[in-house]
Amino acid sequence: MEFKKNIQIKNRKARFEYEILDKYIAGIVLVGTEIKAIRLGKASIAEGFCEFKNGELWVVNMTIQEYSHASYFNHNPKQVRKLLLNKRELKKLEKEVTSSGNTIVPLLLFIDDNGRAKLQIALAKGKKLHDKRDTIKDRDNKRRLDSIKKAYR
């Protein structure tokens, strides 16, 4: 059992499904076995989203698999986890979500230099089908241009 040095768990689907408006770094309230599982890279934020309850921000559907060396003190993999932000940031996010219909999605789960788990979240707006097609078309055009440039070097 070897802890990884550089943990970065990404939500690749978020950038395709949503238009990113603003980014924030939030701390996460975890129990003992959850941080150990994250350090092993046993987490997923692909289906996760954030919501407000009683003025606090919570991340829902973030999966942290059970820690293999724990006994009956293990955690629930799909439990709701509290995010830690400044009051000013929380009020701004809550106003944006309630007034304009935006959503908050997790982008990146990582371990900082002090060994704490952090979650990069983004205020996002859902893309329409034609926006997703434009994204795919732009990505394909960029790939073709890069291959043409490489051929003429």
Domain ranges of the chain: 8-127
Count CB neighbours of 127 within 10 A: 16
107 in Cβ contact with 55 (< 8 Å): no
For the cut 80, the answer to whether the pLDDT of residue 2 exceeds it is no
Residue 4 has pLDDT above 80, yes or no: no
Structure tokens given for 33 = 């076995």
Write the CATH number of the domain with boundaries 8-127. Answer: 2.40.280.10
Please list the helix, strand and coil fractions of the chain in percent, rounded to the nearest 5, in that order.
35, 35, 35
Beta strand 63-64 with 43-44 is antiparallel
pLDDT tens digits along 13-46: 888 889 999 999 999 999 888 888 888 888 999 9
Assess contact for 59 and 122: CB atoms under 8 A.
Answer: no
- What percent of the chain lies above the pLDDT cut of 70? 97
